[in-house]
Amino acid sequence: MILINLLPHREAARKRQKDQFYTHLGLSALLGGVVCGAIFTWYQGQIAAQQERNEFLVSNIKRLDAEIKDIASLQREIASLRARQTAVENLQGDRNLPVYLLDELATQLPDGIYLNSMRQDNQSVMLVGVAQSQERVSELLRNLSNNSTWLVRPELVEIVAANMAVSSRDQRRVSNFTIRATLKRPSTTAPAPAAANKAPAAGGKV
């Protein structure tokens, strides 16, 4: 007996293949969605963690900026106080400068030199006087250069030969000179002995 299948088996096979394809496609799409969702969730967690770190850094930067401003303000106040302290110390030290200057001139003036005038402008001192000879002026410059504690960097501004009347009949040849020197501040000079404890040089007059 011969059996003949009259059912459309080819169409049924194609339908089964199509159903399997759609099933596999759906499963693949679902798996892809799950993977994408997991990756998206991981990235979102990383972004959230980075945002928290950024916010932490920003808040700490703001706090440090405020501290830096406070430190800068304190540094300005400290510099201002130091400047005031230095000014007060300079004023206190400068009160005794005339005493030191007169004492130093009395010590360093050699015999045969007489001062006509002395002018102080800040730390610059101008000495105008008369010397018996140019050698006396040279000796004064050496004394100020090598032996003086308070007067430094002496400079001969001018020296002029002249005649000085000793009496109604006699005249003496002298040298009129001008010397500029720098007076040191007490803050840069070792304390000098009091002027009252030192006798002035015998030949010099101020």
Domain edge (last residue) among 95, 114, 142: 95
Domain that holds residue 156: 97-197
pLDDT computed for residue 198 by the predictor: 43
In a domain, 154, yes or no: yes
DSSP 8-state secondary structure symbol assigned to residue 205? B
Residue 106 CB burial class (10 angstroms; 0-12, 13-18, ≥19): middle
In a domain, 167, yes or no: yes
The residue with greater pLDDT, 180 or 9, is: 180
> Is the domain of 113 the same as that of 188?
yes
Q: For 152-200, how does the pLDDT look when each residue is reduced to its tens digit (9 = 90+)?
A: 899 999 988 888 776 667 778 888 999 999 888 776 555 444 434 443 4
Domain edge (last residue) among 95, 119, 146: 95
> Does residue 98 surpass a pLDDT of 90?
no
- Domains identified in the chain, total number: 2
Q: What is the residue-wise DSSP string for 185-200?
A: PGGGSPPPPPGGGSPP
> What CA–CA distance (Å, rounded) separates 128 from 132?
14
| Cβ(137)–Cβ(175) below 8 Å | yes
In a domain, 202, yes or no: no
The residue with greater pLDDT, 168 or 136, is: 136
Confidence band, pLDDT 50/70/90 cuts, at residue 1: low
> Is the domain of 19 the same as that of 81?
yes
pTM of the full predicted structure? Answer: 0.47
Residue 201 CB burial class (10 angstroms; 0-12, 13-18, ≥19): middle
Q: For 68-86, how does the pLDDT look when each residue is reduced to its tens digit (9 = 90+)?
A: 998 988 999 999 999 888 8
Hey, what are 107's tokens? 């010590």
CA within 13 Å, CB half, 148: 27
Domain edge (last residue) among 80, 95, 110: 95
The residue with greater pLDDT, 195 or 43, is: 43
Confidence band, pLDDT 50/70/90 cuts, at residue 122: confident
> Is the domain of 17 the same as that of 108?
no
In a domain, 204, yes or no: no
> Is the domain of 36 the same as that of 73?
yes
The sign of the dihedral angle between the CA atoms of 15, 21, 27, 32 is: negative
CATH number where 188 lies: 3.30.1360.100
